[in-house]
Chain A
């Protein structure tokens, strides 16, 4: 495999378990936050990761950043196991942009020192060169040179998120992890940040793992989309394929719950109900079956496998499988 084809990020059967205490004398229980996920992201591609709170998408991001160690399986960055990398080396390869720009920036530092910090930590360039690169980064993310001396409290939410993006990109990492980068922002500011990320992606050829609970947001950037439910990937494929021909009822529910500005549509019937299962005692069989409008007997006992269906897309659903067999 040439270096160009090799995935920048590869997850091989990654499992993360937490031991959860139920009280002083009760025995501990195991919470499976991520239950065997295999995914890969190629150079210049954006993988969108979608799912509700508690589905394990942020735990996955933490493992990719090296902030958590997988209980089983492997995370490879540019072909090298993340466990074998030192802290500085890892930081050069992977950088995060977090959800809340109000708490992820140091309020006592100026914008220039926040953006330039990774350079000084890694001892890159003279202070004049560092200053030059910070200025270049500011321009790249659409901030004015005067913002360099500002403190985060003097900036709007959208401007803060631009600072966070500049800080993440200044080391030119191989992989950018965006964990809900727009969900704390107004819809109008979200559009600006999404446009900025799209622009940076095409100009710098970013490789990115983009996490969100909103499929409509993910599709703006993602080349491929993976839908997670209760620690597992239930559907994965090229973005257009998932948006237009989703197989899994959960993906369809997520799509239906996006509120588009059409006053004639009324509120969507997602068919999902609202009972999110207890991750400490996941339902047997397909974990989604208690909320699934298509569930039948097999779903209650047998966990479905992630099977290829069409155009490089995969889904883990007995009903979709049965449907495909009937159609064939």
Chain B
């Protein structure tokens, strides 16, 4: 097997807050193979964005990051010097942020923002940088790319700005892209186009993609592997088809049930929901973090939950022996 482009073992992120320590990410292990897409999915506050920021070394200054291993294409990110990290970031590993409205610099033209990483990493001269920018803008489906270089972010729509963000991440031909909710702010039609584009570019360039999202609909359609996060932990992970066909954690099941499906979900028939709220992650945490919201919780759930290993690297943290039942099926 080739070296994974990203290999994270037992990552934890702790943030000191006023009333204790916030255990935002706890014992997260992920690997992304070249040319593969790993989707990290979960609700707001589950630690999925912090996980990707921890990989990029972009955590807030107060946060503490620990891990047993964190390798990027065989290089140890934990021991990496800041200059070496700066060499990699924006060059061999790039990030696409959620908000195309706020993550572009409003005072810089599109052309300057696109060419900056290319020039900064010494990939070539200004002429080459501009050529590559035009070529990539066309590649991401922006018409009249040459003219766009002189425009400013406020002159572009949300969909176009997100395309610019993608083109920018691709400028140096990265090995790994981390995309944090790249389509959440967009219309469904544009979302489908952007995801197509990412999948196609990934095939062409053989990049690894770590895509963070809250929408299992997206995960089902683009991921090779999926990691479901809850309260800072990966509660289930495995090949996409295995996780969707045979979800072993009730939380995964709950996330699948709450998606409305055209012509199948009927008016008046409620969608599945996950009752209750995400637990407070400040202070100690014992047992399954989901047990307060779980319809199947029993005594053993309050104790430490071992990771169960199934076929094909499908793993889960749940004491249930059977496939997670759907509460929807139960009620009807």
Give the B-binding residues of A (Cβ under 8 A): 52-54, 156-157, 186-192, 194-195, 198-199, 202, 213-217, 219-223, 239-240, 243-244, 253-268, 270, 272-276
| Partner of A267 from B43, B192, B273 at Cβ < 8 Å | B192
Q: Is the CB of A194 within 8 A of B221?
A: no
Chain B residues, Cβ within 8 Å of A273: 193
Report whether B258 and A187 are in contact in the complex, using a CB–CB cutoff of 8 Å.
yes
**Complex formed: what's the CA distance from A220 to B261 in Å?**
9
CB-CB nearest in chain A for B265 = A220
- Contact flags B258-276 to A (C-beta < 8 A → 1, else 0): 1111110101101111100
Bound CA span A219–B265, Å? 8
Interface residues of B in 205-254 (CB under 8 A from A): 214-223, 240-241, 244-245, 254
Q: Which residue of B lies closest to A202 (CB)?
A: B268
Chain A residues whose C-beta falls within 8 Å of the C-beta of B188 in the assembled complex: 213-214, 254, 257-259
Cβ B199 vs Cβ A187 within 8 A: no
Whether A216 touches B273, Cβ cut-off 8 Å, given contacts A258-B188, A268-B192, is no
Residues of A within 8 A of B187 (CB): 52-53, 213
Contact of A274 among B159, B240, B261 (CB under 8 A): B159
B208 → chain A closest CB, angstroms: 18
A191-B215 contact given A262-B220, A263-B244, CB 8 Å threshold: no
Q: 6 closest Cβ contacts across the A-B interface? A: A191-B258, A259-B217, A191-B271, A216-B260, A257-B192, A274-B193
* B73 interface hit (Cβ, 8 Å): no
In the complex, which residue of chain B has the Cβ closest to the Cβ of A212?
Answer: B188
B103 close to A (CB within 8 Å): no
Measured between beta carbons, the chain B residues less than 8 angstroms from A219 are 260, 262-263, 265, 267
- Residues in chain B near residue A198, CB distance under 8 A: 267-268, 270
In the complex, what residues of A have CB within 8 A of residue B263's CB? Answer: 219, 240, 243-244
Inter-chain CA distance A201–B268, complex, in Å, is 9
CB-CB < 8 A to A268: which residues of B?
A: 192, 221
Known contacts A186-B214, A192-B273, A223-B267; is-contact A260 B189 (Cβ 8 Å): no
Q: Which residue of B lies closest to A194 (CB)?
A: B271
Q: Judge whether B195 is part of the interface by a CB distance below 8 angstroms.
A: yes
Contact indicator B43/A186 (Cβ below 8 Å): yes
* Besides A52-B189, A188-B274, A276-B157, 10 new A-B residue pairs in contact (Cβ under 8 A), listed by A number: A53-B187, A156-B277, A188-B255, A194-B260, A219-B265, A243-B263, A256-B192, A258-B188, A262-B244, A270-B189
Chain B hits for A187, CB < 8 A: 214-217, 255, 258-259
The answer for the CA separation of A198 and B268 in the assembled complex, in Å, is 6
Evaluate contact between A261 and B259: CB separation under 8 angstroms: yes
With both beta carbons as reference points, the residue of chain B lying nearest to A158 in the complex is identified as B277
B189 near A253 with CB under 8 A, answer yes
Say if the beta carbon of B256 comes within 8 Å of chain A.
yes
Q: Which of B143, B223, B263 has the most CB of A within 10 A?
A: B263
The CA-CA distance from A272 to B193 in the complex, in Å, is 9
B196 at the interface (CB under 8 A from A): yes
Contact status of A195 and B270, CB under 8 A, knowing A217-B260, A259-B191: yes
Tell yes or no: B141 within 8 A of A by CB. yes
Residue pairs across A and B with Cβ atoms less than 8 A apart, 24 shown, are A186-B43, A187-B217, A188-B254, A188-B273, A191-B259, A198-B267, A199-B270, A202-B268, A213-B187, A214-B188, A244-B263, A256-B192, A257-B188, A258-B262, A259-B215, A260-B217, A260-B220, A260-B261, A260-B262, A261-B259, A261-B261, A263-B240, A268-B192, A268-B221
Q: Are A257 and B191 in contact (CB under 8 A)?
A: yes
